Structure 1
Amino acid sequence: MTASNQIKMNALPSTPSLLLRAAITRKSPGKMSPAKPPVFPDTVITVDNINIDTTQLQRYRQVCGFATHSPYLPMSFLHVLAFRLQLAMMLRKEFPVAPMGMVHLSNTLRQYRPIEATEKPSLRCRISDSWLSSKGVEFTFICSAYIGQDKVWEDESLYLTRMKTGIAKDKTERPALQEFEHREPWQLCPEQARQYAKASGDYNPIHLHNLSAKLLGFKKMIIHGMWSQAACISALEASVGERSECYAEFKTPVFLPATLQFCYQQSEQGIDFGLRNESGDKPHVEGYFRPLA
C-alpha cells in the first residue's frame, strides 16, 4: 500500500449528495470473462475521530426498534456511516463499475466490544476481494472501526453488479427452508422505509415511493435490506453476547406494505433467524448470530 492508495478525509461525506452523483455516474467495464475480470482499486479511505450525531442516532434507534436510552451504539449503526465511505469509493474514477443498480447480497457485522455513543471511532474502508459469477461481478467491502489502535467493529458488505460473464449458472438445487421454533408476525408500512431513509441518509428512490421504485424496475417500493438486518438484531440483542457476529443474506426484496414472519431459534452455534413472507414459504432474509472468540 503506497501513500497514493490511502485517502484521508477530514469528515464523512454527505450521503444524499453521494447518491445524487451516483445516479448520474455511468461506467462501462467492457466485456467480462474469467480471463479478463475487472480490476478494483487497492485503496483505503479513512476518517478519524467521528462525532456521533445524537439526533441521527435516536432516529435510527426508533425506526429499527433499539432501546433509545442505551449508552451504546446499536451493533448495526456504524454501517450507515461506513456506507458513505463505500459510496465515495464507488464514485472514484478507477472504480470499474457504476454504483447505481448494484445489489446488496449479504452483510456481516462483527462487534468486538460495545461502543459507547460518546466515543469517537475512526473508520477505514477498502475492497477486500472480487470475482466473476454467472450473475455478474461480485465484490466485498470491508469497513472497520477503531478506537485508538483497537479494532472494535467490522462490516463486510457483499455486492453484485449484474452483467454477462460467460460463466454457466449453478444448477444445484436450493436446500429446503429451515424450520424455526419461534415465529412472530411483523407488519411493515411504507412510512418505515421513509423513516429509515431519513435516519440513515440512504434516500435511494426504490425505498421512497411506488412511482420512483417503478421507474427503477420495481413493481412497488421496498424496505432497505439493512433495516431488515437491524430490526432482527434489535429483536434478538438481549440474547446475544457483547462480542458477536451477525450475518444476513438478502434473498428477496420486501415490497411495502407487507406482513412478514420473523423466525428464530437457538442452535448449537448461536441463534439462527429469518424474515419470510406472511405464509412462511418465501425467504426475504436468512441469517445468524455467532459468538466471537
Structure 2
Amino acid sequence: MPEPKTLSGEPGGFTTLLRAALPVVPGVNQLPGVRKGPASAFTGLSYARRGVVAERARVDAYAAVCGFPRKDVVPLTYPHMLAFPLHMAIMSDPAFPYPAIGMVHVENAITAHRAIAIGESLDVTTSVGAPRPHAKGVLLDFVTTVAGEDGTAWESTSTYLRRGRTVDGEVAPGLSIPDAPTGGVEWRLPADLGRTYAAVSGDANPIHLYPLTAKALGFPRQIAHGMWTKARSVAAIENRLPSAVTVEVAFKKPVFLPGTVAFAARQDDDGWTFALTSPKDGSPHLMGRTR
C-alpha cells in the first residue's frame, strides 16, 4: 500500500460532488485528471486527515438526526463522518479505477476500542486495496483507522460493490445473519430524511435527496442512507453496548422515503442481533450483530 495522500482543508461540498460525477460524463471522462486508470493495474490507494477534531456542534447535530443521546463522547458510528471525505477523495482520484457514482455500500463493520471524547484531536486514515471478485461485479474494502494520542481508538471496513465485470479469484461469502429478528417497533421516516442526514454527514449523493435526482439514477424515489439505518439501529441499543465493541451490518433492500420500517433486536450470548425490515412482508433492509 502506498503512503497516504494528505487531505487538507475543509472537505466536501460542491467540488467533491463535481469530481465524483465527472467520470460518468461521456467525453469529459476521457480528459486528463478525470480519466480513470485500468482496474487491472490498481493495487491500492490511501488518504489521511491529520488533527481532525470531533466538534461539539457537529456531533450534536449528527446525534439528533440519528437518535443518539447528547454525551461528552461521540456516538459509535460518528467517526464514519470523519472518514467519509477520505472515501470520496479515493473514489475521485484518477488512480481509482471506478467512478464514485454507482458504488453501492453493501456491508459495514465498526470496531470501537474505546470511547472518543468530543474535542479530541484525531488522525484518520482510509485505505483501499485491489478489488476482489463478486457474483455481480467486484468488491472494494475501504479500511479506516482513527487514532488518538494513545493509538488506534476506532476502526471500520466499508465494503462497496461495483456492478459489472469481475476479477479473477474465489468469491468470498458475505455477512450472513439467517436468524435475524423481524417485526418490532415501527419507525416512520420522512421524505426529507436523506437531505437532513446529508446536511450532517456530507454525503449528498443524489439518490438520497429528491425523487427527481433519485429517478435520474434508476430509483423510483429517494432512499435513506445506509449509514443512517445503521446509526439509527445502533442508537436503539446504544445504552446496552460496551464502549469497546464490534458492530457488523449488511445492507439489503433500500429504504424508500417517505416510508415505514420495523426495528427488532435480540440479545444473544455474546452480543445483540438486530434487523430493520419491511412491516409489510418482513423482508430485510438491514441485518446486523454486535460482539
Please indicate the TM-score interval, normalised by the length of the shorter structure.
0.7 to 0.9
CA distance in 2, matches of 1:75, 1:97: 29
Q: Is the 8 A contact 2:56 2:119 kept in 1?
A: no
Q: Quickly say closer, same or farther: Cα 1:93–1:180, change in 2 above 3 A.
A: closer
- CA positional deviation for 1:273: 0.4
1:81 Cα deviation after fit = 1.7
1:19 corresponds to? 17
Cα distance change of structure 1 residues 130 and 157 upon mapping to structure 2, 3 Å threshold:
same
* Residue 164 (structure 1) aligns with: 165
Contact 2:107 2:251 in 1 (8 A): yes
On the 8 A contact 2:109/2:157 being kept in 1, the answer is yes
Q: CA deviation at 1:272?
A: 0.3
How far apart are residue 130 of structure 1 and its match? 2.4
Is the CA contact 1:104–1:157 (under 8 Å) kept in the aligned structure 2?
A: yes
Of residues 6, 9, 18, the one that matches 2:7 is: 9
Match of 1:284 in 2: 285
Cα distance change on mapping 1:181 and 1:253 into 2, 3 Å: closer
Question: Corresponding residue for 2:61?
Answer: 59
The residue number in structure 1 matching 2:135 is 134
Taking structure 1 as reference, are residues 38 and 149 closer, same or farther at Cα in structure 2, changes over 3 Å only?
Answer: farther
| Whole-Å separation in 1 of the counterparts to 2:141 and 2:251 | 15
Displacement of 1:280:
4.5
Task: Give the 3 Å change call, closer, same or farther, for CA 232–179 of structure 1 in structure 2.
Answer: closer
- Asked whether the 8 Å contact 1:56–1:200 carries over to 2, the reply is no
One-letter amino acid of the counterpart of residue 17, structure 2: L
Q: Distance in 1 between matches of 2:179 and 2:9?
A: 43
Deviation at 1:233, TM superposition (A): 0.8
- Structure 1 residues 90 and 283: alpha-carbon distance in aligned structure 2, compared to 1, 3 A threshold: same
Secondary structure in 2 aligned to 1:43?
strand
In 2, the alpha carbon distance for the partners of 1:89 and 1:257 equals 31
Separation in structure 1 between the aligned mates of residue 177 and residue 238 of structure 2, nearest angstrom:
27
Specify the SS of the correspondent of 1:234: helix
* Greater Cα shift, 42-51 or 93-102: 42-51
1:245 alignment counterpart:
246
Following superposition, the deviation at residue 229 of structure 1 comes to 0.3
Instruction: Note the residue ranges of structure 2 that are not aligned, 5 or more in a row.
Output: 24-28, 30-34
User: Residues 10 and 176 from structure 1, CA distance in 2 versus in 1: closer, same or farther, beyond 3 angstroms?
Assistant: closer
Deviation at 1:18, TM superposition (A): 1.2
Report if aligned partners of 2:74, 2:115 keep a CA contact under 8 Å in 1: yes
Amino acid at match of 1:143: T
Asked if 1:191 is matched to 2:195, the reply is: no
Distance 2:159 2:43 in 1: 16
Q: Deviations over 1:203-249 (max 9, x none)?
A: 11111111110011001110000000000111111111110011111
Aligned partner of 2:220 in structure 1 is 219
CA distance in structure 1 between the partners assigned to 2:16 and 2:177 by the alignment: 40
Aligned AA (1:227): W
Instruction: Select 2:46's aligned residue among 26, 44, 47.
Output: 44
1:124 shift after superposition: 0.8
Q: Deviations over 1:134-193 (max 9, x none)?
A: 2112110101100025100011000011113388xx9x9xx8953538711111111222
2:147: which partner in 1?
146
Does the CA-based 8 Å contact 2:37-2:96 persist in structure 1? no
CA 1:176–1:101: 2 relative to 1, 3 Å: closer
CA distance in 2, matches of 1:152, 1:289: 17
Give aligned pairs, total: 278
Root-mean-square deviation (CA), in Å? 2.5
The residue correspondences of 1:89-108 to structure 2 (distance < 5 A) are: 89-108=90-109
